[in-house]
Amino acid sequence: MLYKTLSAAVYGIDANIIQVEVDCSGIKCDQDHFHTVGLPDAAVRESRDRVRAALKNCGYDIPPTHITINLAPADIKKEGSGFDLPMALGIVGAYGGLTKKEVTNCLFVGELSLDGGIRGVRGALPIALEARGRKISRLVVPEANAREAAMVGGVEVYPVRSLLDVISFVNSGNGIAPIKADADSLLRESQQFFVDFKDVRGQQTAKRAIEIACAGGHNILMIGPPGSGKTMLAKRMPTILPPLTFEEALETTKIHSVAGVLDPGTGLVGTRPYRAPHHTISDAGLIGGGVIPRPGEVSLAHNGLLFLDELPEFPRNVLEVLRQPLEDGTVSIARASMSLTFPARFMLAAAMNPCPCGFHNDRTRECQCTTPMIQRYISKISGPLMDRIDIHIDVPAVNYKEMRSSAEPEGSGKIRERILRTRARQLERFASSHLREQLYCNAQMSSRHIRTFCELSADCERLLERAMTQQGLSARAHDRILKVARTIADLEESANLEPKHIAEAIQYRSLDRTYWA
């Protein structure tokens, strides 16, 4: 007998509906003949052992017969253990264990344990989005994935714990209520941080540069000796970034769901991601990879912050793969069988020592490095990558008086208010322009936008020309200076760029001359 159910497979950050067709011949055999076709991977092929054991331990003793399971369309590679549940349900239906001849308008996904329990799977959110798009009104998922899938409106999400629960649900339709989730309240509740800029003593210049970076979405590099607070500052940057919109939260959650790093207790990524990979990471770990590619750290940092500590210690080939996501906001991964594109629009914050020992130009400790040693250390970072970092800021060691000062540093809340006003000003400017591209911050402006929104007076032109000539800056650095200057003007609520805005923006490129000349 033939029985059909619906499931889904995830590719990139999107899902495809898969029809699970189960055919049981009814003719007993000396051996167990259980075949899965439709380009299954190893995890899908192993499903036969999990499914047979789960059915047996749930009281369904399946005789040794010919069982063929087809995952259609058959020309798409299937991976993962989420097909266990629809396979088991199809076998029970093929042997007459279900009262309905077919299950329509309902999609099943879940991994079976040997006792019939149902474990969570990756990608429940994109599966729910695809189900809604295909007008499938009911979705049966493991209890661990229920809150995540329930973030999608227009689909009834039924959480299940065991195979017996699913069989009872199909036969009677009773016993399991669809789960409800209030995404807006969850977003509000998640806007809580356990760190604050009040914890950072001193470093006023660095704080100013970080505020400018967050206000305009600019990439920033902090250079200073060990213990000066570079990592401490970077960890607090998400506390002053604008809150996620629901659309951004949904897009970010899709990526985390597919990667398998989503907290099942929340179901939604409510704060901007902060990713800080170790410098031993591979290029595949950073941008994504695999036979069927999965997101890397740059995609997990989408709509958030990627922090690279000890930047020169990263292998050069790993750093060079950052060029595409920094420029385009996406990562394209090509394989022989498919090509996938992951979103990767993030802010880059990086930190490094000024030399191998870390004490070059330090006021209190002597540097033991020679000039060639420093040059070799710095040259690990290529010029094209440095051009893509808008702000370079020196973070000196904090002195004793600043550390013990009784003055209360400014908190993240006040800084965030200024940044929100600045971002609102940018959005209003972009919305009122005739340019069609949708922009969210100054850092996303192209050359055409810069010509439109960054008009320079004669004094500004002379100042910028002199800096370009003396420091030997590239055309890309020229655009970065204008973007940063536009953000500085926005922070001061100035409609026009003034020489002081250009001068401050140029100061954040001075390390080009100091270290990379």
Looking at the structure, tell me whether residues 152 and 219 fall in a common domain: no
How is 386-455 classified by DSSP, letter by letter? HHT--EEEE-PPPPHHHHT--SPPPPHHHHHHHHHHHHHHHHHHHHHSS--S--SSGGG--HHHHHHH--
- Tell me, yes or no, whether 67 and 11 share the same domain: yes
For residue 327, count other CB atoms closer than 10 A to its CB.
11
User: Where does the pLDDT of residue 291 fall: very low under 50, low under 70, confident under 90, or very high at 90 and above?
Assistant: confident
Worst-scoring range by mean pLDDT, 63-72, 185-194, 291-300, 391-400?
185-194
Instruction: Report pLDDT digits (tens) over 163-207.
Output: 999 999 998 877 788 888 777 777 777 777 889 999 898 889 999
The 10s digit of each residue's pLDDT in 243-261 is 998 889 999 999 999 998 9
> How far is Cα 209 from Cα 511, in angstroms, rounded to an integer?
14
**Does the residue 255 lie in any domain?**
yes
Q: Are residues 240 and 144 in the same domain?
A: no
Does residue 516 carry a pLDDT above 70? Answer: no
pLDDT at 134: 93
Most confident option among 36-45, 58-67, 225-234, 355-364: 225-234
**Residue 365 maps to a domain:** no
Of the chain, the end-to-end C-alpha distance in Å amounts to 76
Of 127-136, 221-230, 307-316, 327-336, where does mean pLDDT reach its minimum? 327-336
Query: Which pLDDT does position 415 carry in this prediction?
Result: 95
Cβ distance 237 to 419 under 8 Å? no
User: Is residue 448 scored above 60 in pLDDT?
Assistant: yes
| pLDDT (average), residues 221-237 | 93
CB atoms within 10 A of CB 6: 22
Q: Are 80 and 121 in contact (CB under 8 A)?
A: yes
Residues 193 and 340 in one domain: yes
Residue 369 in any domain: the answer is no
* Whether pLDDT at 465 is above 70: yes
Per the structure, how many domains does the chain have? Answer: 3
With a cut of 60, say whether residue 504 has pLDDT above it: yes
Q: What is the CATH number of the domain that holds 327?
A: 3.40.50.300
User: Is 433 part of a structural domain of the chain?
Assistant: no
Angle between helices 475-491 and 458-471 (to 10 degrees): 140
Q: Which of 516 and 14 is assigned the larger pLDDT?
A: 14
pLDDT at 120 over 50: yes
- pLDDT per residue over 259-284, tens digit each? 989 887 778 888 999 999 999 999 99
* Beta carbons of 331 and 288 less than 8 angstroms apart: yes
Eight-class DSSP state of 329? S
Residue 261 and residue 146 share a domain:
no
Q: Domain check: are 121 and 145 in the same one? A: yes
Q: What confidence tier does 334 reach under pLDDT thresholds 50, 70, 90?
A: confident
Domain boundary among 126, 153, 181: 181
Q: Say if residue 132 is in the same domain as residue 195.
A: no
* Domain stop point among 363, 398, 416: 416
Q: 205 and 165: one domain?
A: no
- Same domain assignment for residues 225 and 284: yes
pLDDT bracket for residue 32 (50, 70, 90): low
State the residue range of the domain holding 167: 2-181
Residue 503 in domain: yes
Are 389 and 280 in the same domain? Answer: yes
d(CA 374, CA 360): 9
Report angle CA 251, 257, 259 to the nearest 5 degrees.
110
Over residues 362-371, the mean pLDDT reads 85
pLDDT at residue 28 tops 80? no
CA distance 101 to 107: 16
Q: What's the pLDDT score for residue 474?
A: 81
Token output for 275: 């990713």
DSSP 129: H
pLDDT digits (tens, 9 = 90+) for 122-138: 999 999 999 999 999 99
Question: Residue 330 — φ and ψ, nearest 5°?
Answer: -140, 165
Residue 209 and residue 421 in contact, taking contact as beta carbons nearer than 8 Å: no
**What pLDDT does residue 515 have?**
47
- pLDDT of residue 514 exceeding 60, the answer is no
β-partners of residue 348 are 306
For residues 484 and 208, what is the distance between their CA atoms, to the nearest angstrom?
A: 12
- Is residue 394 a part of any domain in this protein? yes
Span 363-381, average pLDDT: 87
Q: Establish if 388 belongs to a structural domain.
A: yes
Q: What percent of the chain shows pLDDT beyond 70?
A: 96
Average of per-residue pLDDT values in the chain: 88
Final residue of a domain: which of 121, 156, 181?
181
Please compute the mean of the pLDDT values over residues 459-481 and round it to a whole number: 88
Examine residue 404 and state whether it is found in any structural domain, yes or no: yes
Residue 436: its pLDDT value, please? 55
User: Is residue 224 located within the same domain as residue 119?
Assistant: no
Classify 319 as helix, strand or coil: helix
Q: Are residues 143 and 260 in the same domain?
A: no
pLDDT at residue 517 tops 60: no
Of 52-61, 173-182, 377-386, which gets the smallest average pLDDT? 173-182
